[in-house]
Every structure is written in C-alpha cells, then in structure tokens.
Amino acid sequence: MGRIVGIDLGTTNSLVAYVDAQTAQPKCIPGPLGRTLCPSVVSLDADGSIIVGEPAQRRLLTQPERSIYSVKRLMGRGPADVQAELKLFPFRVDPSSQNIIRVQLGEKIFAPPEISSFILRELKNWAEAYFGETVDRAVITVPAYFNDAQRQATKDAGKLAGLEVLRLVNEPTAAALAYGLHEKQRGTVAVYDLGGGTFDISVLKLISTNEGDIFQVLSTNGDTHLGGDDIDHLLQAFVHEQILQKDQIDFSPHGELAQELRKELIVVKHKLSETDKVLLRFALPNGRVFEHEFTRGSFEALIRPVVDRTMAPVRQALEDAQLSPKQIDEVVLVGGTTRTPVIRRTVEEYFGRKPHTELNPDEVVALGAAVQANILDRGVENMLLLDVTPLSLGIETYGGAVAKIIPRNSTIPASAQELYTTGVDNQTGIEVHVLQGERELAKDCRSLARFTLRIPPAPAGMPRVEVKFLIDANGILQVAARDVRTEQEHSIEVQPSYGLNDADIERMLEESIEYAEQDFAERQLIEARTDSESILAATAKAMANRRAAELSEPERMKIEQGVAVLKEAVVGSDYKLIRRRVDELNHATEHLAEILMNTAVQTALEGKKLAEV
C-alpha cells in the first residue's frame, strides 16, 4: 500500500498535505514551483495533453477556450442548476448535456469530475515526487453543505485520479481538526468558511473524554454557490457597466479581455484587504485607458450583498445547535475570502469575539484533511470526528409531498427504514423517489435518485418490502431493500438523478489512461530497469577488458555475484530491490572502474604522446 494524503479540492486553489511521522504535525506539500497552492485550473493542450495549475492559469488569458477554472461549481449539478452561473463564468457547456453537465475544452468534452480528477492527479504527482513513493489513498474535503450528488461527483473524481477516497471530510470540520490540534481548544466552536465558491458555517463541540478528544459537529449550514467568485462578479459587473457607459464597449464573458479584466480586479480585491485605495487602470481595445479608484468604503458597499448572504445560514446553524452567538466559545475563520476586512468585522460583531486566524486560511482545510487521513490510516487513537448530514433526506409521498426520514444535522452514519406494500393486486413495482432538502414539496427539493422496487405478483397489501436508506460517513446515500417475509435482499438499481453512472466511470477510467502519466511505481520500475541495463552492459564490457585481470579473486567473485542477483531482481517488479542491487553492483565495481579509468587516462596520454611525436 502506498502513502495516504489529505487533499483540499478547492474552487480556486487546491492543496495536498500529510502528517509528518516525526513531529506528528500536518504539513502542506509544495509543488515543483515550491508553492503549496495549486490553482484549480485545467487546460487542454493542442497535443491533447492536460495542463494543471499555474501554467494552466496563464493559459486562461492566452487560450481561454481550452481552459477552465472554478469547475467545482459544476460538480454534481444539472444544466438547469447552473443557468445563472453560465452568464458569469466562461464555461462552454456542451448543449447535449442531460443529467450531468459536460464542458468543452478545445475539441474535447469532459464531465466536471474528469476535470477535477486532473487536479487531483496533479496533486498526487506532487506528493509522489515529494515522498519518492506511491500515493494511492486520500481524504478529500468537500463543502459541508454539499449534497449527495456533489459528494458523489467528488468521490468519482478521486477514483478517476487513481485514488482510493477513504473519506470525504467537510471543509469546516477539517479546519476545526487542524485548529484543535494546534490550539487544544475546548468548548463550542463556530467555523465560518468562505472560500472561492462556497460558504459553510459549522458549529462544533470539542469534548475531552478518557479515550481522547471528540469533535462533534452540532449543526452545519451554508451555500454551495457563494464565495470570492461572487465578489469578483460584482466587481466585474460594476466595471463592465462603467465601460459600457463611457466607451460603449460590451464585454463578452467569453472574451480574453474579460479574463484579463477579471485578473486585474482580483488583484484590486486583494490589495484592498491591505490598503484603503487602489487605482485600477485598464487598457481598452479602443486605445483608451479605463481608470477607476476603488476605496475600501466603496468596495465594501459593493460586496455587502455577499457578506449579508452568509449571515442567514449562520443564524440557522446556531438555531439548529440551540446556541446563541454568546454561547460560542471560539470562532474560526477559514477560506481566502475571510481575509477581507469587512467579513472579519461582520463576524466579530455578530459573535462578539475576535475570530481565530492564526493558521493560514488557505492551508488549514488541507491540514485538517491530513489529520483525518492519519486517523483513518492508524485507527482512532486519540481523536474522533462525529459529523452530520447538512440536508434532510426525504422520500416523495402521495401528491408530490416529501416525508422527511432523516432530519438535517443528524450525526452520520444515519439510517431510516421505510416499509412498502402494494396498492393493487399483482402490482409488480413500487416507485421510490429519494430527495434531499428542507422544502415540503418534492419539486422544490433536490432529486437524488429514483428506483423501482420489483415485487413478485401477490394480492394487494401482501408484499412487505423494507427499504433501508443509509447515509454513510461520507454523507453519501446507500439504499438496500429486503423482503420482510422471505428475509431476502432485493437488489436495487439506483439511477442517480445528477451523476455519473458506473458505465460513465468505466469509460472515463479507460480514457483517463490516455491523459494520465504512468503510474508512479511503473515509472520507477522502468527507470530502475533502464539503470540496471546500463550498469550490466558496462560491467560486462569492463570484465571483458584484459586489464580486468588485475582484480583480486574476491573482487571478481563479488562482481559476478552482484551481476547475478541484479539480473534476478530485474525480472521482478520491485523497483526498490532493483535500485539496491544496482547500488551494490556499483559499489562492487568501484575498483574495476578505477583500473579501467587509469587505463583510459594512460591510453589517452599515450595517444597524445604518440600523436605529438
């Protein structure tokens, strides 16, 4: 088994972290450029290869039609869900998209989990290069308010990246784990997590018991489409309007110009967290330069709607936890967007205490994911995480109403049983529609899945089928059915309403090989075999040299033995063993190399002399 890592698969940036065995502290792993943040940007090169991270980010400007950012917003969503986003994001959605969205990069079409898998694979490569070992398992974080389909899509992305996803952990909970380890906090904690595209609020209780520390989530709420992106859009809309009025230039969101302006505005936004005024100067195609001075005051007024939208979930989460703001002992800020002063102020005013910001808000979620990965790898030793399901699970009943069977904020895993029977004689199927959400009518909730219970013909009311709905520790639904009288398990083919089915995943896995670099171990093996081939060839050649006779008998024996065991190792696939044998043979042939070296030098000198003469 390879190494295990924690991954924060973010809207804007993604990170990978692990727990250092010596210090027992989590640590983010840097990429080849030395930075721990990997921009969540993917680009398809003209030669068909996939580019991820900073190089892809640069291509947003040069090749926007082959590049994509903020794909997390599309995970587990249907085309109807994202109409509003499409006006704001340069996503090129394939018009034939049905249940799940497919986007176009250049000439190819991808599902959002495939694009996310490219980011995950990049991070996997970072970690493998860092460890010099295979990484095959991961804990991946998701927004706490992600629904079943969004979680499933994330899990699918992990699978497509060649990772066994041991657990999906909610981002605010992960942050609490990292802080808990860091500060040894106790009591009630509110985690306010405003990232690039998602907002979460979680209320936790940190409990010390004889066995260790328990992180119990009491309630969670949020908005999976609210974040720094929305602030950028407000800024963009404002500037687009200004430019339209003054210069009659219309920005198409797909244009390179719009991307350039977006990049500039993000710089303005970041600067406004540090200074009070920033002047934006932007060259327009008509040769004029657009100028606007943003003050912190005007910026804060502009983004007020985003700040306000976070507060309703905050109030609901506290109400669900049956706590008042005063009863919260600690407040933690997570996510890059919480660097914005107006957000810090608003949160501080609401809770009446200064929020914690000691840990880097960009890294804290990945660090927490690494902590959870370590717990899963080693077994619960001194920390246990009890999380909740963010949304109520329901089933459609007569008349399109929803009967809630697992209420929101139930500790997971959680389950509920429903008994089904037939209404008419010889009815052979019962339709079951599973939903997630708080609304009363099925049409207002999120459809998770539909399936038909197959019933052997019998008089009405006779069959008794118990369906068990179970939300696992990842927050993902599992369904099983059992005939109560015969005790027989029914198999159910659950068709996800918004997600990839098994056939999709199979096909994508096959295709992913096309993009994937070779597996780390395979790559290592090939390199080790190449190395051994060259040393075996060199040794054979050297031993054939007449001056090899200068070797002592033990030396000769040692070399011959080294050659034999290396040849043996090369047949196998243990690259570490091959490497060791290569090293041993290198060592054994040191003297031989010296002898030949001297010969070579002498020959060279002699040759020179001869030539000179």
Partner 1 sequence: MSTPLPIAPLVCWSCHERTIGTHFCSSCGKIQQVPEHSDYFAMFDLPRKLWVDMGMLEQKFLQLSWKLHPDNFTNATPEERAISLRRSSELNDAHRTLRDPVARVEYLLAIEGARVEGKNKQQAPPELLEEVFELNESLDELREAKASGGDTAALKQSLGTAEKNFQGKLAEVDSELQGVAKEWDKAMDAKADAAARKGVMAQLNELLNRRSYVRNLVVNVQKELA
Residue 199 contacts residue 212 (beta carbons within 8 Å): no
Q: Which residues of 564-579 are buried (b: 16+ CB within 10 A; e: fewer)?
A: eebeebbeeeebebbb
> What is the identity of the amino acid at 144?
A
For partner 1, the closer CB: 190 or 376: 376
Residue 412 lies near partner 1 (rule: CB under 8 A): yes
Q: Name the minimum Å distance from CB 450 to partner 1.
A: 18
Known active-site residue 164 = no
Q: Which stretch binds partner 1 (CB under 8 A): 177-185, 409-417, 442-450, 513-521?
A: 409-417
Tell me if residue 587 falls in helix, strand or coil.
helix
Distance (Å, whole) CA 263 – CA 286: 20
Q: Does 212 bind partner 1 (CB under 8 A)?
A: yes
Segment interacting with partner 1, rule: CB under 8 A, options 72-80, 90-98, 420-428, 474-482: 474-482
Helix (H/G/I), strand (E/B), else coil: 251: coil
Is residue 349 part of the contact set for partner 1 (CB under 8 A)?
A: no
**Options 85, 136, 156, 171, the catalytic residue:** 171
Q: Contact with partner 1 (CB under 8 A): which of 38, 71, 135, 166?
A: 166
Question: Any contact of residue 209 with partner 1 (CB under 8 A)?
Answer: yes
Tell me the angle at which helices 296-320 and 256-272 cross, rounded to the nearest 10 degrees. 80
Which of the ranges 64-72, 262-270, 334-342, 471-479 carries the binding residues for partner 1, by CB under 8 A? 471-479
CB of residue 257 vs partner 1: minimum separation in angstroms? 45
User: How many angstroms separate the Cα of 604 from the Cα of each of 149, 374, 551?
Assistant: 72, 59, 22
Q: Report the residue count for the chain.
A: 613
**Applying CB under 8 A, which of residues 9, 52, 203, 414 lies at the interface with partner 1?**
414
Q: Among residues 285, 379, 399, 554, which is the contact residue for partner 1, using CB under 8 A?
A: 379
Interaction residues for partner 1, span 214-253 (CB under 8 A): 214, 216
Does the active-site annotation cover 72?
A: yes
Cα gap 35→304, rounded to integer Å: 32
8 is catalytic: yes
468 near partner 1, rule: CB under 8 A? yes
3-state helix, strand, coil in the chain (%, to 5): 45, 25, 30
Q: Give the binding-site size for partner 1 (rule: CB under 8 A).
A: 34
136 with 5: CB under 8 angstroms?
no
Per CB under 8 A, does 421 bind partner 1?
A: no
Query: Is the preceding peptide bond at 457 cis, omega within 30 degrees of 0?
Result: no
- 438 interacts with partner 1 by CB under 8 A: no
As given in the structure block, the two tokens for residue 195 are 């990232």
What does residue 301 show for φ and ψ, rounded to 5 degrees? -65, -40
Burial 54-79 (b: 16+ CB within 10 A, else e): bebbebbeebbebbbbbbbbbbbbbb
Catalytic residue among 122, 193, 229, 232: 193
User: Under a CB-based contact definition with an 8 Å cutoff, are residues 120 and 40 in contact?
Assistant: no
Instruction: Identify the residue among 61, 109, 207, 284 touching partner 1 (CB under 8 A).
Output: 207
Q: Decide if residue 272 touches partner 1 (CB under 8 A).
A: no
Q: Tell me which stretch binds partner 1 (CB under 8 A): 28-36, 188-196, 212-220, 442-450.
A: 212-220
Which tokens belong to 47? Answer: 């030669």
Among 413, 504, 543, 550, binds partner 1 (CB under 8 A): 413
Marked catalytic residue, from 72, 124, 155, 269? 72
Q: How far is CA 172 from CA 127, 217, 578, in A?
A: 23, 10, 45
Among 473, 509, 542, 565, binds partner 1 (CB under 8 A): 473
Active site residue 584: no
Instruction: Provide the minimum distance between the beta carbon of 386 and partner 1 in the complex, in angstroms, as a whole number.
Output: 6
Residue with tokens 């056939």: 503
Q: Catalogue the active-site residues.
A: 8, 72, 171, 193
The residues that touch partner 1, with contacts defined as CB under 8 A, are: 166-167, 207, 209, 211-212, 214, 216, 375-377, 379-380, 384-386, 407, 410-416, 468, 470-473, 478-480, 489, 491
